[in-house]
């Protein structure tokens, strides 16, 4: 009997104490600003220098460029840009070396899917991943674009 009351005491104490659980995914999880999450890519800023693909330790970036359609301008513009999130380790190196901040980290981390094929993200998908851009990369956000920093 003494044990029963002791157990009830523990239960009552737990009922009135502050909750330690979090209603995820109903309530979005806010990550620290230095968190390294899924990249945002801005095609207009990319100069097709290939530095991100060359430094990537897992070879998960594939990109192609094409000659600039504007005859007044030299150089290339980006044609395709894909990241394979099956093997991306979100190490941040690609964003660190990018000279134009065309690719930056966000605080987004949700990539769970039923198919591995869906972990190949193309340029359009990466460009639409424009929420929660990392605080230090605020300047990377296009004017009028959605932004929600933590
Ligand atoms: S975060 Fe790292 S592993 Fe992922 S694409 Fe960039 S360099 Fe490669
Ligand atoms: S994203 Fe940046 S580093 Fe990669 S090719 Fe474009 S400009 Fe170069």
Q: Which ligand is closest in space to the CA of residue 46?
A: 2
The CATH number, out of the four listed (2.60.40.3680, 3.30.70.3270, 3.40.50.20, 3.90.1200.10), of the domain defined by the range 31-128: 3.30.70.3270
CB of 49 closer than 6 A to ligand 1? no
Q: pLDDT tens-digit profile of 27-57? A: 888 888 889 999 999 999 999 999 999 999 9
Q: Which ligand is closest in space to the CA of residue 47?
A: 2
Q: Residue 79 is inside which H or E element, if any?
A: strand 76-84
HEC letters along 16-75: HCCCCCCCCCCCCCCCCCCCCCCEEECHHHCCCCCHHHHHCCCCCEEEEEEECCCCCCCC
Relative to the CA of 51, which ligand 2 atom is closest? 3
Q: pLDDT tens-digit profile of 63-87? A: 999 999 988 888 899 999 999 999 9
| Residue 97 scores a pLDDT above 90 | yes
Q: What phi, psi does 140 have (nearest 5°)? A: -80, -15
């Amino acid at each position: 009997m003494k044990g029963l009351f002791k157990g009830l005491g523990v239960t009552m104490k737990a009922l009135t104490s502050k909750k330690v659980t979090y209603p995820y995914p109903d309530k979005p999880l806010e990550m620290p600003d230095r968190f390294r999450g899924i990249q945002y890519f801005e095609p207009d800023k990319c100069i097709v220098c290939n530095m991100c693909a060359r430094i990537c330790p897992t070879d998960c970036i594939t990109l192609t460029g094409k000659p600039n359609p504007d005859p007044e301008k030299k150089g290339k513009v980006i044609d395709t840009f894909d990241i394979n999130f099956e093997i991306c380790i979100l190490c941040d190196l690609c964003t660190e070396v990018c000279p134009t901040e065309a690719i930056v980290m966000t605080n987004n981390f949700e990539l769970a899917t039923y198919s591995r094929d869906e972990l190949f993200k193309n340029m359009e998908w990466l460009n639409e991943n424009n929420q929660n851009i990392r605080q230090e990369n605020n300047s990377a956000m296009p004017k009028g674009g959605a932004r929600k920093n933590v």
